[in-house]
Amino acid sequence: MCGICGFLKSGGRVDRQVFDRMVDSMSHRGPDDRGTLLRGNKAIGMRRLSIIDLASGRQPMSNEDGSIHVVYNGEIYNHMELREELSKKGHRFRTDHSDTEVLIHGYEEWGIEGLARRLNGIYAFAVLDEPEDRILLVRDRFGVKPLYYSLKGDSFVFASEVKTLLLSGSIDTTFSDEALAFYLRYQFVPGSQTILKDVKKLLPAEILEYRDGNVRTTTYWDFPSPAIRRDETMEDCAHRLRELLFDTVKRQMMSDVPIGVFLSGGLDSTIIAYLMARNSEVPIRSYSIVFPGEEGFDESAFSSKVAEAVGSDHRVIAFDEKRLIDVVDGVIESMDEPVADPAMVPTYYMAGVAAKDVKVVLTGEGADEVFAGYPYYRQFVDKSGYMAERYVSLKAVRAGLKTLKNRMFTLKEFGCLVDDLELPPSSSLSGFPYAMSDNLIMLFMKDLSPTLIERLQNYEAEVASRVNDGTPLQRALYVDTKLWLAEDLMLKLDRMTMAHSLEARVPFLDHRVVEFVFNMPDEFKVASSGGKFLLREAMKDIIDKDIANRTKQGFNLPFNRWFRGRLREFVQDSLTKESVETTGLLDYEAVKRLLRCHMEYGMNTARPVWMLVVLCLWNRHIRRLAASREV
């Protein structure tokens, strides 16, 4: 694992001091080594976290004649198979088992697209091809590893982190109004844009070519074309999936350094822990966050039971409001772009503890989007049953009465009818719950154009157009993988772990697993008993039944209560008039009214409140960083 960056100027030389600052701003991503290559108007560099081939995997790495160079962040799990294939074709390797060198020879043999399609792993890398006078950037299929870039004037810069780009001196910190509107809708910014006008993201499974001052992007992978397979029984599919997961976890335990697992006690991380234990000759190390005294949030009883069953060396890590205050600055500085997922905070803290023992952790992230684990997916398979549970039950009636009361409060505060702040609408395509409705976004943002609102409303349909021939459930899983998984969950996992020089791996996102499951019948994924039916069937003889049949419990924080208690002052200090107005796009009066709804009327508006807190704190951080750059 590493942090990588590059600086290319079509009109002059790269300043070595500036580039050295860029490289070293990522020292947390790679504390073990650094390397740079400067050739007049071109520079590439990296910071290395040594995981594979500790002695000889230094970067930038070049081919035999020194004309092609690579900087690389990630792990290629099938690099030994590719190395053997390339050796048979006549390529000669200088390192013992460096996966970086496979990228160089693979590029020479197959070209950039042919290489990318063969890779199994998590990665973001750059190839500087001097004979062709171009640089190529590649990102893994699901966006596990980050890569940002900017083309402005005569400068093209790329890096694993936004703050590294800022140090180039060519990036402005002005917010994009379109990106902010999307952030208020989702709690993250989807697609190639970021909150900063000058910065873009390389999308998952995308290749970028920079040559002669121009950028061109192409996509090398996508989900298979929708075509439901009916030629295998559930039993056959479960057997094949079990074998595939065994192989995937075994591959991803590849490491020359100690490894562990993040263990929540839910189905997904439990499966990973069981499979790791079967592939390890020594007790694995496991780490769990607990929330003492917080009923409905604390899964410690389950995680401890799993740890005992697999015989792991288990660490239980307590987290509360005080811990949040202690670490929130580190979280904001590490997230790189505003993402208001509350789980970022305990993940950051847990990663800090785990990094004292191990350099690599495996996680259960991605299983919900692959196997349809979220409860709202049921509506796409069993609509009548889902609707009856949601809208006809006594619980639903009580919720409806509360909604009427909440709307009365919001009418009093905002002077107009606003959707229930506790229950914003959900995506009609995927079921993903929005953070804010269109009406509320228009109250929070100044001068929001109808065109932008229309873009918000049509965005998911554009994303899903690739699988319009699929079932409603396939479209839902596709949209959530492209948006929620790539732009929130993977960002959270990478930034919060790499802040502590810890590499996180995601076995459920092996593309072979995703491709295998995508065209399985919907009823193999969602049954009357809930989601992940195929996954539960595949693992039912391996893990305990009470874990296999557990109802899904999200990894969240009790912000509703905390914001009225010990975190009240923290929230108010974060959302001052100055901090809100410095964004240049938010209406402070609307923010005050939202806070009153939570603090004084007892409404649970914790999600949009946290979203605004993250945005204002991140804006303050990035402006300070930009100011220090100019000193």
**Tens digit of pLDDT for each residue in 468-526?**
999 999 999 999 999 999 999 999 999 999 999 999 999 999 999 999 999 999 999 99
User: Which of 330-366 are b and which e, b meaning 16 or more Cβ less than 10 Å from the residue's Cβ?
Assistant: bbbbbbbbbbbbbbbbbbbbbbbebbeebbbbbbbbb
Q: For tokens 């496991």, what's the residue?
A: 286
Contact yes or no for 495/446 (Cβ under 8 A): no
Give the span between the Cα atoms of 443 and 547, in whole angstroms. Answer: 44
Question: What number of H helices and E strands is found in the chain?
Answer: 26, 17
Structure tokens belonging to residue 359: 């350099």
Percent of the chain with pLDDT over 70: 90
pLDDT of residue 385: 64
Q: List all residues 6 or more positions away from 211 whose beta carbon is below 8 Å from its beta carbon.
A: 132, 133, 134, 135
Question: What is the band of 244 on the pLDDT scale with cuts at 50, 70, 90?
Answer: very high
For residue 194, give the nearest of 222, 218, 166, 220 by alpha carbon: 166
Residue 527 DSSP one-character state: B
pLDDT of residue 304: 87
Which region among 104-108, 439-443, 626-630 has the lowest average model confidence (pLDDT)? 626-630
**Tens digit of pLDDT for each residue in 176-196?**
999 999 999 999 999 999 999
Which has the higher per-residue pLDDT, 449 or 386? 449
CA angle 454, 460, 465 (to 5 degrees): 115
Residue 236 has pLDDT above 90, yes or no: yes
Residue 364 DSSP one-character state: -
Structure tokens belonging to residue 157: 């810069």
Whole-number Cα distances in Å, 586 to 179, 563, 571: 13, 21, 17
Structure tokens belonging to residue 274: 């069981």
Residue 631 has pLDDT above 50, yes or no: no
Give the span between the Cα atoms of 619 and 214, in whole angstroms. Answer: 30
Residue 588 has pLDDT above 60, yes or no: yes
For residue 519, give the nearest of 300, 307, 230 by alpha carbon: 230
Residue 265 has pLDDT above 90, yes or no: no
Which has the higher per-residue pLDDT, 453 or 548? 453
Residue 8 DSSP one-character state: E
Contact yes or no for 75/31 (Cβ under 8 A): no
pLDDT of residue 15: 92
Which has the higher per-residue pLDDT, 190 or 169? 190
Contact yes or no for 477/517 (Cβ under 8 A): no
pLDDT of residue 292: 84
Give the span between the Cα atoms of 410 and 431, in whole angstroms. Answer: 25
Q: For tokens 């094949």, what's the residue?
A: 240
pLDDT of residue 47: 92
**Tens digit of pLDDT for each residue in 36-68?**
999 889 999 999 876 655 555 678 999 989 999
Which has the higher per-residue pLDDT, 558 or 119? 119
Beta-bridge partners for 46: 4, 35
DSSP state letters, 585-615? SB-HHHHHHHHHHHHTT----HHHHHHHHHH
Q: List all residues 6 or more positions away from 507 whose beta carbon is below 8 Å from its beta carbon.
A: 245, 248, 249, 252, 272, 275, 362, 513
Give the span between the Cα atoms of 51 and 61, in whole angstroms. Answer: 16
Overall average pLDDT of the 6-11 stretch: 91
pLDDT of residue 301: 77
Whole-number Cα distances in Å, 16 to 42, 525, 628: 11, 54, 18
Determine whether 468 is exposed, middle or buried from the number of CB atoms within 10 Å of its CB (0-12, 13-18, 19+).
exposed
Residue 291 backbone phi and psi in degrees, to 5: -120, 85
Give the span between the Cα atoms of 413 and 189, in whole angstroms. Answer: 28
Give the span between the Cα atoms of 612 and 242, in whole angstroms. Answer: 42
Residue 153 DSSP one-character state: T
* Average pLDDT in the chain: 90
- What Rg, from alpha-carbon coordinates, does the chain have? 24
Residue 565 has pLDDT above 90, yes or no: yes
**Tens digit of pLDDT for each residue in 365-403?**
999 999 999 999 999 998 656 655 665 555 554 555 455
Structure tokens belonging to residue 154: 């005569």
Beta-bridge partners for 148: 159, 201
Which region among 28-37, 100-109, 318-327, 547-556 has the lowest average model confidence (pLDDT)? 547-556
Residue 227 has pLDDT above 60, yes or no: yes
Residue 552 has pLDDT above 90, yes or no: no
**Tens digit of pLDDT for each residue in 312-336?**
999 999 999 999 999 999 999 999 9
Residue 139 backbone phi and psi in degrees, to 5: -125, 150
Overall average pLDDT of the 416-438 stretch: 82
Q: Coil, strand, or helix at residue 35?
A: strand
Beta-bridge partners for 130: none
Give the span between the Cα atoms of 459 and 481, in whole angstroms. Answer: 14
Determine whether 54 is exposed, middle or buried from the number of CB atoms within 10 Å of its CB (0-12, 13-18, 19+).
middle
- Residue 60, preceding peptide bond in cis (omega within 30° of 0): yes
Residue 547 backbone phi and psi in degrees, to 5: -80, -40
Q: Look up the pTM and report it.
A: 0.93
- CB count within 10 Å of CB 27 equals 13
Which has the higher per-residue pLDDT, 282 or 418? 282
Give the span between the Cα atoms of 220 and 110, in whole angstroms. Answer: 13
Beta-bridge partners for 72: 125
Give the span between the Cα atoms of 192 and 352, in whole angstroms. Answer: 30
